[in-house]
Structure 1
Amino acid sequence: MGVVTAYAAVVLSGGAARRMGGVDKPARAVGGRPMLHRVLAAVADASPRIVVGPAGALPGGVRVTREVPSGGGPVAATAAGLALLGPGTPTVALLAGDLPLLTPTAVAALRHALDGSPAADGACYVDDDGRRQQLCGVWRVDALRTALTRLAAERGGTVGGAPVRGLLAGTAVREVSWSGSGPPPWFDCDTDEDVRRAEEWTR
């Protein structure tokens, strides 16, 4: 089964980056490019590409929006990103903005996995310990919108401050292990040491 041709990408660039002293984490460079730009390059074939949160200068054609309330967390940011998608967009790559090792090949593997699993609502990578990397995945847009509606109802009409695991708790997930060459695409940079490790991998 071939990969569906249309998909969007929503990249979450917010977050306080407390373990890095509150810096704009996705703007930090790895291998000479901001992490956010590296993520956007991995989904260069997506349309539209949407960044939710602080963005700075971005490649042409990338749309920018903000979550409500500002600083409301990844679920609120997901809702803001999905709000910009048209009704004809079947799937969306939902990605953290601090995945400097993500590649087009890794995204294509997720899309293949979801396309080959009709009963699944999404496909995401799992790390070596079996933990789902939920912000390194591809999801069916309708399933995410249904999950957002459910979660908002459970939380009195708002998803601000909600955890991603709460959003995805009722979804059917195809777990994907990274079997390709190179470093794990789900590796995120939460600390200065993580950035140093990512730099070594990109050399």
Structure 2
Amino acid sequence: MASSSRRSGPNRTVKPVDPYGALVLAGGSARRLGGVHKPGLLVGGVRLLDRVLAAVPDAAPRVVVGPPQPTPPDVRMVREEPPGGGPVAALSAGLTALGDAAQQPISRLALLAGDLPFLSPAVITALRRGADGRDGAVLVDPDGRDQYLAGVYRLEALADAVASVGPPTGVPLRRVVTRLDLARIAAPDRPDGAPPWLDCDDADDVRAAEAFARRASGQ
């Protein structure tokens, strides 16, 4: 249920954002990291998956798609079919689980990769506001690349796009999301300069993430 509008400053009205759910894709083969389970890697002493979930503390429901792994009590864990069937298969399984787990109707969904250590609630709020009146909003990195797994989507539009591609196994995510009307959002600045779109795909990315984490902690 949306809250009433709040005023920020003398002449500015901040529009409330609707309730939303969160879906984290936390599988994948991580070939460039030797096949390790990426969401379980530690950055600054905290698991990547825990960092991502901390960016959406007010989402309900919260669903993680991937192999069995520790999650907070409120998080539902599911597996795509077949295991390793790719991001759209994981998305499809997650959408089904969201429908089963939702305690109240939601119109928006944060769709996130499980290896983004520097997402924050502020970034998610910027995406939720940016998605207003559109099918969704995604982060854009400084090179202009859309980060489809750092986005907030209109749930109905995303589900329709998934259904329209047929069997989801092996389908690239781009084939789904390019059917949508998306806003492209530059991330709010962080005091430590850590980029919210940084994903830990390889060893260099993990080292860069550790360096940002050390800077944030003052080490």
TM over 0.5: yes
Structure-1 separation of matches of 2:148 and 2:76: 22
In structure 1, what residue type is equivalent to 2:186?
S
State, as a whole percentage, how many aligned pairs show the same letter: 50
**Which SS does the other structure have where 1:84 is aligned?**
helix
Partner of 1:185: 196
Structure-2 separation of matches of 1:11 and 1:125: 16
Structure-1 separation of matches of 2:194 and 2:43: 14
Partner of 1:104: 121
| 1:133 has 2:147 as partner | yes
Deviations 1:98-130 (A, max 9, x none): 001111111111111112xx1x10100011111
- Choose 1 or 2 for highest CA Rg: 2
Deviations 1:1-35 (A, max 9, x none): 52323100000001000000000011000011110
- Unaligned 5+ segments in structure 1 are 153-157
Alignment map for 1:1-203 (pairs within 5 Å) = 2-86=15-99, 88-115=105-132, 118=133, 120-152=134-166, 158-181=167-190, 182-203=193-214
Structure 1 stretches of 4+ moved >2 Å: 1-5
Change (3 A) 1:41 1:55: farther
Structure-2 separation of matches of 1:5 and 1:140: 11
- Unaligned 5+ segments in structure 2 are 1-13, 215-219
In structure 1, what residue type is equivalent to 2:144?
G
Deviations 1:64-109 (A, max 9, x none): 0011111111111111111122382101000000001111111111
Change (3 A) 1:55 1:108: farther
Structure-2 separation of matches of 1:191 and 1:51: 22
Partner of 2:3: none
Shift of 1:55: 4.2
TM-score by length of 1: 0.92
In structure 1, what residue type is equivalent to 2:137?
A
Shift of 1:63: 0.4
Instruction: Say which structure, 1 or 2, has more relative contact order (CA 8 Å, 6+ apart).
Output: 1
Change (3 A) 1:147 1:131: same
In structure 2, what residue type is equivalent to 1:33?
V
